[in-house]
Amino acid sequence: MMLERRPNPETLADLRDEIDRIDACLHEMLMQRGEIIDRLIAVKARAGGSSAFRPGREADMMRRLVERHKGILPLDTVESIWRIIISTFTFVQANYSVHADISGGDAQMRDCCRFHFGFTVPYVTHADVADVVAAVSAASGDLGLVPVVSSPASGAWWQQLAAPAAPKIIARLPFVERPDHPAATPLFVIAKPVKDGAARDSVLYAATLTRWRDGLNAALGASGAELVAKAPEAHAALLAVPGATPPASLREALAGHGVEISSLTEVGSHAARFDFVRAS
């Protein structure tokens, strides 16, 4: 909705009146959004219900937001506002909590959680990744936040996601990558498997190697994949692979570089992150 600007000359009172009209309009539109969510809940109920989390749609919404943004309002503010709107209206559809691994520090994890999920969604802390996975497994629809770069004590934590019914990675934060991001800690979001609406630009696999090889990074790079995390003592790796690359092709590409995989299990997927600097 576009509001007509008053002709010049303008007074401070005129400008403040215009701001008040815009504020009222924004509030009215948020309430209208809430009414639509209420109708959405009813439609989902008639259809047998579905997950409130739609990682693919959320990524599309954020991508469009960043692409159209301009003006003096900082992107940090816009991103956080929309993240909170999305997260809060998802909470309205189906209450959930966010469980966070704070083994690397509570302050930065709390900042990231509040930036991406706001204050309405409950924030629950845990001592390690295993406790987060267990909490998400036990809940009906909660989320977990796990640092992409986890502490060595966490070991091959991603193997806990390998069972079919175990939680899976559904997103990677922050979605918008740029220098000096206020919530820059790289995080995985885990949830119970999302039946539809998943983003599959990047697919994550728990891999067990026949033996650990120092050339793994080079082998993965040649196939367009990425070594996200590793536990050499367990011959274990967490691999991010382009969604269009089938597991058989990955195995073949790695074998060509002398890297053999004894097991390869999908443990989630996420949208391609938006590189704001490159896009600009």
Chain-centre distance for alpha carbon 13:
43
Answer yes or no: CATH 2.60.40 is held by domain 203-270. Answer: no
E strands within the chain?
A: 98-101, 123-126, 143-147, 168-173, 176-177, 187-191, 202-209, 226-231, 236-242, 261-270, 274-275
**Distance of alpha carbon 171 from alpha carbon 270, whole angstroms:** 5
**Distance of alpha carbon 170 from alpha carbon 193, whole angstroms:** 8
**Per-residue confidence in pLDDT tens, the chain, 280 aa:** 555 666 667 899 999 999 999 999 999 999 999 999 989 888 877 766 666 788 999 999 999 999 999 999 999 999 999 999 999 999 998 899 999 999 988 999 999 999 999 999 999 999 999 999 999 999 989 999 999 988 888 899 999 999 999 999 999 999 998 888 999 999 999 999 987 788 999 999 999 998 877 778 888 887 889 999 988 888 899 999 999 999 999 888 888 888 889 999 999 999 998 888 766 6
The domain locations on the chain are 16-45, 55-198, 203-270
**Distance of alpha carbon 258 from alpha carbon 157, whole angstroms:** 25
